[in-house]
Structure 1
């Protein structure tokens, strides 16, 4: 077996809000969205539609967002589990200082930017549904 790609699928409460969060704060781009009717795919989020799924991308990072009711329907053993994660999604970035300052100014749940023993500057942030994102950059 060869694994060629890993794309996390986040269970979310509101596709529109999650897409806005990731595009506004982290520069992700919407690749596609599936309306509630599931009769096609949209390349933009339309205000008059509700969505059950979206795929976003920023460089080599791809995240799938799936509305909670359809997520739980697709994955029965997720029933009773809380939304969010006890895992962190670690992303190496360039320009961590600017990213950190911009997010800190937005009053989001962000840890301090700190240098690690393994030569990285990093911080953690919690998204709208409780997923933990880590942003890191090698120190000089």
Structure 2
């Protein structure tokens, strides 16, 4: 059994607002959009995701996802400087005892997006 990739589908009640958040705040690119189906495919570097309004069998009364999305990035401090005034902060940048330097924001739908880099890589960059 071989897994090739993971592509999350994020449900939203406001497709335009969510697409705009990922395009303008996180600088994703729009691969494809289908307004009849109420979904869009987005990409940034090696990350792909789908934004979708729930269909008839996916009733959305509230967000049911009970986790977060953990982005491994290059130069997490630069990413922090870019996002800290553009997004709603979950927690500020910090180097944690498990060896990761990270921070988290909320997207427009309330999903938690964490951005991290191994602290050992940061020491080598400086």
TM normalised by structure 2 equals 0.84
1:54 to 17, 40, 49: 40
Contact 1:104 1:110 in 2 (8 A): no
Match of residue 48 from structure 1: none
1:61-76 correspondence runs (5 A): 61-68=47-54, 70=55, 73=56, 76=57
1:93-108 correspondence runs (5 A): 93-106=73-86, 108=88
In structure 2, the CA distance between the partners of 1:83 and 1:14, relative to structure 1 (3 Å rule), is same
Pairwise CA RMSD of aligned residues? 1.8
Which runs of 5 or more structure 1 residues have no equivalent in the other structure? 39-51
Q: Structure 1: how far apart are the matches of 2:10 and 2:59?
A: 15
Q: Structure 2: how far apart are the matches of 1:101 and 1:26?
A: 12
1:1-140 correspondence runs (5 A): 1-36=1-36, 38=37, 52-68=38-54, 70=55, 73=56, 76=57, 78-79=58-59, 82-83=62-63, 85-106=65-86, 108-139=88-119, 140=123
Displacement of 1:60 in angstroms is 1.1
Superposed CA offset, 1:18-69 (max 9, x none): 1111111212100000022x5xxxxxxxxxxxxx00010011111100013x
Q: Structure 2: how far apart are the matches of 1:15 and 1:90?
A: 22
Which runs of 5 or more structure 2 residues have no equivalent in the other structure? none
Q: Structure 2: how far apart are the matches of 1:67 and 1:58?
A: 21
TM normalised by structure 1 equals 0.76
Q: Structure 1: how far apart are the matches of 2:109 and 2:87?
A: 16
Contact 2:93 2:101 in 1 (8 A): yes
In structure 2, the CA distance between the partners of 1:111 and 1:84, relative to structure 1 (3 Å rule), is farther
